[in-house]
Structure 1
Amino acid sequence: MKIEQAINQRKFKDDYHKIVVNLLFTGNWLRDALGANLKEHGLLPQHYNALRIIKGRHPDPVSAGDIKDVMLDKASDVTRLLDKLEKLEYVQRRLCPHNRRKMDINITPQGLKLLSDVDVLMDTFYDDLADRITAAEAAVLSDLLDKVRG
């Protein structure tokens, strides 16, 4: 569906205005679609992002600052995200032995199992995208998005 139909707008000031609106609309659509896959596991996209970052460093620990640096949603409250993930026993925090002002964060076996389960849902989501655009189109789109950000 074209953006004009999706938001019931016939005309845009110009194509630059149209692309900004389309990016915002599509970003929200992606957030909602991905969120629906995560909701059944009691997670938000930010939790999933944090778990993926922590898993990427596994078995080495990661600090909250390291997570914050690479989060997709820079406005996320990492401490609060980690509090919930720790309460659910998906991550474990310990005082860093080399720097007592820093916490070491590791993913637990339960966290690894959760990611494995969620990744099956995410693969289905990516397969649905592959039904709509080719791999070459996805690469071009990704390159164009990089170019938009400068």
Structure 2
Amino acid sequence: MSRKRTAHVPTPFVGDFQDHLTFNGRPPRTLAELQFAKAEYEHRQRAAEIRALSKKLALLDPFVEPILKAGIRLSYRDLSSADHGKVIRVQPVYTVPGRDRKLYEILIALGFKEVERKDWGLNNLLVTLKHGRALLVRIEIPGPAMETACAS
């Protein structure tokens, strides 16, 4: 869906760098219109992200039942992508260090292979797992220092 760009006239609410925010095809004139414009823009962005991820999500679908049987609730996680759908990023909605260690172990048991590991945040690791040729999943797990502290 292409949107026709009109000449942007800055308003008290929208600066030159925000000309993507429109309300009924024009710049928002009130705070309420600004909030609707922002929500609509975020919705369009998220819908585009889900469309880009849809093929990868379909590849992940067969693993949902075993993950649920192991006690992992995917509804508490956000499935997103920062690279136009190449990798599914599984993030807890509420960050709790170590929450996804069990998910990591389940995915390894289901045949996923670890292909990348890097330091991430405070004593955590960002791990990329691969299954088959096309399915890549990225999760955050505690690093060795965090696991030692949690075990104490």
TM-score, normalised relative to structure 2: 0.32
Higher Rg = 2
Higher RCO by CA contacts (8 Å cutoff, separation 6 or greater): 1
Q: Comparing both structures, which one devotes a greater share of its residues to helix?
A: 1
